[in-house]
Amino acid sequence: MSSPTDVEFSKIIRCPVTKSPLETADPALITSLNQQILEKKLVNRIGQTVATPLEGGYINESQTLLLPIRGGIVILIEDQAIDLTQANEEQA
């Protein structure tokens, strides 16, 4: 369930790559990505293995990138974004 602050934040936050609006990631997606992190199979946009589990994240409009939440902060750095098309291929 989103708090009023989350809803307001979602209205102004933008993807640093596509400049599209971001929405809160589904908890099931975060669970799936965290499993891939545990298996050392998830990488960010620049190919670095993601080592820290995600607290949550925001997804761009085309649902191709996830911006992670770490320490309660949304990481809006392009290189740290997770390519969801690659992550979905790893699941298959």
**Average pLDDT of adjacent 10-residue blocks, the chain of 92 residues:** 63 91 95 96 95 96 95 94 82 58
Q: What pLDDT is attached to residue 4?
A: 57
pLDDT for 65: 96
This prediction's pTM: 0.84
pLDDT at residue 22, rounded to an integer = 93
Q: Strand 22-24 to strand 65-70: parallel, antiparallel, or no bridges (unpaired)? A: unpaired
**pLDDT for the residue 90:** 60
Buried-exposed string 66-83: b where 16+ CB fall within 10 A, e elsewhere: bbbbeeeebbbeeebbbb
pLDDT of residue 47: 94
pLDDT for the residue numbered 85: 87
